[in-house]
Amino acid sequence: MSEQGRTEVAILGGGCFWCVEAVYLEVRGVTRVESGYMGGHVVNPTYEQVCGAGTGHAEVVRLEFDPGVISYRDILQIFFTIHDPTTQDRQGNDVGPQYRSVIFFENPEQEATARQVMAEMASVWDAPIVTQLLPSETWYKAEEYHQNYYAQHPMQGYCAFVVAPKVAKFRKTFSHWMK
């Protein structure tokens, strides 16, 4: 941790939370990663409810990070590299509002940084960025079996064919941020 001993929080949705979680567990300066749900209207939603697309929640990860090691800007640059922010309510074969690209900001500084990074990333993608930028809401931690899912099930089909390539892309593109 930094000298002040403080951490900050980033809440990001970039498709299935297993993918996003697996990447950020490897990022230097990230001290905690949890999969969960945010942005809906049902209290204490279950995975089945969120997958039914009727709760309004997105699958997200909640990261705690040491800003003395990695900045929020760097967290977001990784985010915009490991998922496709140009597809509405989908990532690959995962389709539905629970898979939308979304950043839930914690304060005005995070909102301003996110707007700036999104504007910069607009020139990288061939289509418009559709990532939602919303104030943080009530966080619901996903069921325990979703936590650290990729590490526990690397050979499971979805993990092998969807999560692993995203982790590999992170390792290749951001090797300087690996733990």
Catalytic residues: 16
Q: Residue written as tokens 């500084």?
A: 109
In this structure, is the dihedral angle defined by the CA atoms of residues 67, 70, 72 and 73, taken in order, positive or negative? positive
How many other C-beta atoms lie within 10 A of the C-beta of residue 111? 16
23, 35, 17: which is closest to 142 by C-alpha?
Answer: 35
115, 151, 148: which is closest to 132 by C-alpha?
Answer: 115
Give the alpha-carbon dihedral of 2, 4, 136, 177, to 10 degrees: -10
